[in-house]
Amino acid sequence: MSDKNVKRILCIEDEPEMIDLIRLILGRRGFDVHGATGGMEGLKMIRETHPDLVLLDLMMPDMDGWEVYQQMKADEATRGIPVIVVTAKAQNIDKVLGLHIAKVDDYIAKPFSPQELLNSVEKIFES
């Protein structure tokens, strides 16, 4: 597999253990996973590296996930990058609102299984 085919995924998540877990799960499938431990850092990395996919936690101390998402979508250069929202707030109303209003590409509730994460990521890259 040449490097051109390796999908780069940026995981924006304030818990380093969670980034490590996601890196472990997706790394085994050959994805190149990078982590940012907050919204500000994440946004900066999105603009610098243009990942193929962003895994975005909603609850972060410095800048929440919705803010990151809105800034991404407001920027011509990063608007087309797919986003999977990862959040512990798994109320269905949030999920429905998030997917419809914000048009996020998918939604995973913590705690998730490795298979759920893989399915979601692979679904994005197949479409």
pLDDT at 1: 43
The domain tally of the chain equals 1
Residue range 17-42, pLDDT digits in tens? 999 999 999 999 999 999 999 999 99
Contacts of 35 (CB under 8 A, 6+ apart): 10, 11, 12, 13, 16, 19, 20, 22, 23
Contacts of 32 (CB under 8 A, 6+ apart): 6, 7, 8, 9
CATH of the domain at 63: 3.40.50.2300
Listed as ranges, residues in the chain with pLDDT below 70 are 1-4, 89-102
Residue numbers of the domain that contains 85: 3-126
